[in-house]
Amino acid sequence: MSKPEDKAEEEKLTEETSEKREAEEKTEELTEPQKQEIIEEKAEKKAVKEAKEAKTAKEEKAAKPKKRKAEEEEKANIVEEKTYTIPLGRAWNIQQPYRTPKSIKLVRNYIKRHMKADVVKLQAGLNRFMWRRGIEKPPRRVCVRATKDKDGNVKVYLAEGEK
């Protein structure tokens, strides 16, 4: 957490502890009906806090459709989308400590050649899949989904069903 959040939490805790102390001191001096009123006030305060938290949660949920709109705009920019199975056997012909970086270069070059693109971006899921067994043992082949936008940039994703 960042420092302002920590400070806010500390302030909440100090407020709650001070309220508890005050309530304990009051309850020692008060009669039963007065104690009931204090308990009801506390319940009301909790209800107000929960309502505020619920409102903030609703506002966050309302912000999510904006992200969906951005995704829809990206889909609208897609000119071409293809699925390829890329053989990575050539990466196994070189020394072990260089195999996974070589296999990533093979994926980039394959996509550049077949999609006729200059800029190729590999997404995080594909990168994790390539590196999951380390630098010495990349996969023998990989299925990818490549999308080309209006500017000629290509994004490469791990094909669905691959893990």
Position 53 confidence tier, pLDDT thresholds 50, 70, 90: confident
The three-state DSSP-derived secondary structure of 34-66 is HHHHHHHHHHHHHHHHHHHHHHHHHHHHHHHHH
- Percentage, residues of the chain above pLDDT 70: 79
What is the value of pTM for the model shown? Answer: 0.57
Q: Which domain holds residue 16?
A: 3-74
Which of the four pLDDT bands, split at 50, 70 and 90, describes residue 5?
A: low
Tell me which of 74, 95, 119 is where a domain ends.
Answer: 74
The confidence band for 64, taking pLDDT boundaries of 50, 70 and 90, is low
Q: Do 84 and 66 belong together in one domain?
A: no
- Predicted confidence (pLDDT) at residue 61 exceeds the cutoff of 80: no
Which tens digit of pLDDT belongs to each residue from 81-99?
999 999 999 999 999 999 9
Provide CB contacts within 8 A for 48, sequence distance 6+.
Answer: none
User: How many domains is the chain partitioned into structurally?
Assistant: 2
pLDDT for the residue numbered 15: 75
30 with 100, same domain: the answer is no
Task: Place 35 in a pLDDT band, splitting at 50, 70 and 90.
Answer: confident
Of 29, 45, 74, the residue at which a domain comes to its end is 74
Q: What is the DSSP string of the chain?
A: --HHHHHHHHHHHHHHHHHHHHHHHHHHHS-HHHHHHHHHHHHHHHHHHHHHHHHHHHHHHHHHHHHHHHHHHHHHHEEEEEEEEEE-GGGGGS-GGGHHHHHHHHHHHHHHHHHT-S-EEE-HHHHHHHHTT-SS---SEEEEEEEEETTS-EEEEEPTT--
Kindly state whether residues 35 and 90 are assigned to the same domain.
no
Same domain, 64 and 96: no
Position 109 pLDDT exceeds 70: yes
| pLDDT over 90 percentage in the chain | 48
Could you tell me if residue 37 is inside a domain?
yes
Is 50 in the same domain as 28? yes
pLDDT of 21 higher than 60 = yes
Q: Is residue 144 part of a domain?
A: yes
Predicted confidence (pLDDT) at residue 27 exceeds the cutoff of 60: no
pLDDT of residue 54: 79
131 within domain boundaries: yes
